[in-house]
Amino acid sequence: MSSPSRPARTAALLLLAVALTACGASGPRTGALDQGSPDAHPTCRVHQHVLPGSDYTGGKDSSPRAVLDMLRYYTSQRALPFCDHKPPTAQDSAWTGLYDRLTRR
């Protein structure tokens, strides 16, 4: 049995490299709102680590439950400082912007 030709090995390695690169070359991460640990009387809020996902931004395909939970969270905790006392991140600002757009009259 003969080994694959050099061009065939090169092509196979190139395809593998492209496939591996595509796996790690995703856009900004999106997902669910992080509400931190449940607390009846929170004194601070946590930073968001992802941008709002399609459950929140999908229009008619969004999840009403997820949107309502997010609205409830921001209505009650938006004025609280962040637990680490740092300014909002880009992800935090994206969630706040979504809240503002959904509650605009």
**63 domain-assigned:** yes
**What's the pLDDT score for residue 90?**
97
Residue 7 lies in a domain: no
What pLDDT was estimated at residue 23?
46
Q: What is the pLDDT of residue 4?
A: 64
* Domain count within the chain: 1
Task: Specify if 12 maps to a domain.
Answer: no
Bridge partners for 51 per DSSP: 30
Domain membership flag for residue 21: no
Domain assignment of residue 75, given as a range: 28-103
6 lies in some domain: no
- At 30, give phi and psi (nearest 5°): -125, 165
Question: Is the model's pTM score more than 0.75?
Answer: no
Residue 85 CA from chain centroid, whole number: 21
Q: Which residues contact 12 (CB under 8 A, 6 or more apart)?
A: 4
Which helix H or strand E contains 12, and what residues bound it?
helix 6-24
| Residue 13 in domain | no
Segments in the chain below pLDDT 50: 18-25
**Residue 78 counted as domain residue:** yes
Q: What is the pLDDT of residue 12?
A: 56
The answer to whether residue 4 sits within a structural domain is no
> 29, 48, 34, 38: which is closest to 86 by C-alpha?
48
100's tokens: 């503002």
